[in-house]
Amino acid sequence: MSGGWAKIYQNIINKSIIEGAPTAGFFELTSRCNFHCKMCYVCSMPEDRSYLQNELTTQQWVELGRQARDEGLLFLTLSGGEIFMRKDFFDIYEPLSEMGFNITLFTNGSLIDAEKARRLGERPPSKVSITLYGACPETYGRVTGHPEGFDKVINAIKLLLAENIKVELKTTAIKDNYREFHDIYEIADGLGLTLGVVNYVAPRREGCGTDPENNRLDPIELARYEKMLQDFRLKHTDMKKLKKVLKISVDEDVMTEKTIGDAINKLLETKKTDCVFNCTATRCAFWLSWDGKLTPCGLLTEPSVDVKKHGFLESWKHLKSAGLDVPVCNECNSCQYRKRCMTCPARLKVETGRFDRPAPYLCELSKARAELEVIY
């Protein structure tokens, strides 16, 4: 037996990439949300019938969980929209929790009351990952449209912790909240929790009434923000001597799959691969949308396979082969800023409409990072 979470995780992912097994996946249970964040890539209205009608049913999610489990799914994240908008959330979650997954829940936290926390505590997920949109009701109002959300979320975090549920916080930086970073960090630190920072805000995939591109930071603002995070990290590292542990990580965005580490890159060199994804997408990871589309990651609407028609295994096979047809961006490959850039096929596609065209937003960001010497 061996321990060490990061090592175990990386080892399983490495093996899965080589085998092409679908080990990591997102189930996007709904696109509906009680919040309406200005930058959201997916959000639809809470009771929108046209969306409700097309959501996979309770039984479909449970059955797809079983099928995916039989093909090797281990790391399962449930996300939305807001997962707790589904009245049948526990009817989906509880059976999934008995199938042999390591489950993470993505939620805005605001709908978690004492009863839900207690019920989760009976069969806890591996962790609950909550996004903090600000450090006060005013900022919550500006970002999510719900000032009252702030107190609810803080209360939910405390309820979950009281149930001994592992909680992780993250924050998504946009114009309306990025100046509050330090206060958000203080909240996380005060609760003894890690804070992840989502720094890349993608254009909208679907949904209504949100406007990511006009609310995200400009490339230069973002590079400055990253520089600030870098300095903050350095300062806190010094403070380690004072026994203050630094708990901050930059996660880019959370809908793209995990970047492949150096070790796996070396492994892949020895095994020829035509896949241009520089992450786990279509290699060993997938995204399953609220209406049953299997895609490489949460940013993309194509390539896409309808699981309702093909079932999980067939869909995964289709997705893997469709992933191989995604073209490479030659300009990115030979670009001097490549190392500082977060280019990937999915980001290029949502930014420019093509997989193989450099994205101005990412190019400007990379140049600004170079000027400010943001280490990436």
Ligand X SMILES: C[S@@+](CC[C@H](N)C(=O)[O-])C[C@H]1O[C@@H](n2cnc3c(N)ncnc32)[C@H](O)[C@@H]1O
Of 162, 338, 353, 354, which one interacts with ligand SF4 (CB under 6 A)? Answer: 338
The residues binding other proteins (CB under 8 A) are: 1-3, 5, 8, 11-12, 15-16, 18-19, 21, 23, 72, 74, 94, 97-102, 121-126, 164, 166, 284
104 lies in the site for ligand X, by CB under 6 A: no
Q: Do residues 110 and 153 make contact, with C-beta atoms less than 8 angstroms apart?
A: yes
Half-sphere exposure of 159 (CA within 13 A, CB side): 20
d(CA 302, CA 254): 18
Q: Residue type for 280, please?
A: T
Give me the least distance between CB of 144 and other proteins, in Å please. 30
Closer of 198 and 362 to ligand X (Cβ): 198
149 lies in the site for ligand SF4, by CB under 6 A: no
User: Choosing among ligand X, other proteins, ligand SF4, none, which partner's interface includes residue 212 (Cβ < 5 to 8 Å by kind)?
Assistant: ligand X
Q: Choose the binding region for ligand SF4 from 184-192, 251-259, 280-288, 361-369 (rule: CB under 6 A).
A: 361-369
d(CA 281, CA 289): 14
Closer of 104 and 210 to other proteins (Cβ): 104
Closer of 40 and 92 to ligand X (Cβ): 40
Closer of 83 and 350 to other proteins (Cβ): 83
Of 163, 180, 253, 257, which one interacts with ligand X (CB under 6 A)? Answer: 253
**What residues have CB less than 8 Å from 323, skipping those under 6 apart?**
275, 277, 281, 282, 283, 296, 303
16 lies in the site for ligand SF4, by CB under 6 A: no
Quickly count: other Cβ atoms within 10 Å of residue 209's Cβ.
12
Residue 288, SS3 per DSSP = strand
d(CA 341, CA 95): 41
d(CA 68, CA 313): 7
d(CA 300, CA 302): 5
Beta bridge partners of 197: 171, 250
Binding residues with ligand X: total (CB under 6 A) = 20
* Interactions with ligand X, residue window 57-96 (CB under 6 A): 79-80, 82
d(CA 162, CA 97): 20
Q: List interacting residues with ligand SF4 (CB under 6 A).
A: 33, 35-37, 40, 43, 80-82, 108, 144, 331-332, 335, 337-338, 341, 343, 358-359, 362-363, 366
Q: List interacting residues with ligand X (CB under 6 A).
A: 33, 39-42, 79-80, 82, 106-108, 131, 170, 172, 198, 201-202, 212, 253-254
